[in-house]
Amino acid sequence: MRKMYWAMSVIAAFLMLIISGCGSNVSNTGEEISVALSVENNDPDDKYLNYLQECIAEVIVQSTGCSSAYSDIEMAEDGTIAKVEIHSGEYAFSETEKDSIVQYIEKLDGNQNVEVIFGNESQEFSEVRFIEEKTDEEESFYRVEADLPGTNFSVISESLSDMIEQEWSRWDNMTSEQRMFSSSIPGMVSFGSETWTECEETIGLTVYNPLEGFDWLEKVGYFGMEVPDISHVQAIANASSQINGRELNEITITSGYNSEGIRITLMAVVSSRDDIYTTGSRYSGMATYDHKTVFTGSGIPVLVVITDGQNNLGYYTGDYYFPIAYWVRDNVFYTLRVTGDKSEEKEIQELFDRIISEI
């Protein structure tokens, strides 16, 4: 067992250095994964299992961004890995990610018959419903809705609590005339951040973003364009008195990405109440809407709406193609927009389909 362990340690360390990542966000470019796992002072018993668990956990982090996953390993009598159960909490691996992780485990000790089981906590995937549409020469629109579980906002960060308090204090100190001419909404706090993680730290909540792990997407301004002084992530915290006194009732986070000039935005909304969340899209001019429900690679039902609009009002130059996807994962309502010139419809649709398949 000890000899096998040390031999496998050398092989595993070598593999960890040459593997260029696993899963949907890696393109086998030959980039090294930096792994610093010490094999010194390890006994060939329980510590060997710990070493294997660390190797598997590290490759999962490097390839998917999921840092909460852990594994239970069952060894065969000949000292090889017989079965691995991977627990990922709320994170759901895509089929591509699963295949890559299995391949890594098989290479770890040369056993091509390892049983790998993926498990995650029960997730809520509410169906998004297309409920209304209107087409008109001057303006067209549609609306969608879904049941959205509430989020406990009692655990928000002190930083966000202070920003909300300061915003209300500023409003309370305004004169009636100042309020009349103010363009701000009382209780509404907005801020930007350069990374999604920084935004999560500022609000004090973890909100899963499936696009952050896609290294084939360029992270740009939150509306999908590379513009100076525009942050990658924009967050809006709504503590308006119109809904729930002056308590925080909704947080909206938007992040931007780009792929060869095609703009991608992802919006995530969390609410303090178990309620029906409603949103939609408007179009200046005549438009018709094609909608259908598809499934992501991890099995999430997604409502896809494609707008066929006519540029008949002269409000903008050129025509655009912009499929939009809506879905609910746990207590988050997601909106994905992929936008580009109508002439790039094929490329836009292929990019849109790829994102959906790898979420």
* pLDDT at residue 322 greater than cutoff 70: yes
Question: What is the CB neighbour count within 10 angstroms for residue 209?
Answer: 20
How confident is residue 53, by pLDDT bands cut at 50, 70 and 90?
confident
pTM of the model: 0.66
160 vs 31, higher pLDDT: 160
Nearest-angstrom CA–CA distance, 11 and 171: 64
SS3 301: strand
The band of 2, judged by pLDDT with boundaries at 50, 70 and 90, is very low
The packing angle between helices 158-172 and 196-203, to 10°, is 70
The reported pLDDT for the residue numbered 38 is 37
The H or E element spanning position 288 is strand 287-295
| pLDDT the model gives residue 176 | 78
User: Strands (DSSP E) along 121-249, which ranges?
Assistant: 129-134, 139-148, 188-193, 218-220, 233-238
> Buried (b) or exposed (e) across 94-124, using 16+ Cβ within 10 A?
bebbbebbbebbeebbebeebebebebeeee
Domain boundaries, the chain: 2-119, 129-358
Check whether 18 has a pLDDT greater than 90.
no
The pLDDT of residue 247 is: 82
pLDDT digits (tens, 9 = 90+) for 173-219: 778 787 777 777 777 898 999 999 999 999 999 899 999 989 899 99
Mean pLDDT, the chain, whole residue set: 80
Alpha-carbon distances, residue 187 vs 163, 193, 236, 242, 318 (angstroms): 9, 20, 10, 9, 38
> Lowest-pLDDT range, 18-27, 57-66, 146-155, 185-194?
18-27
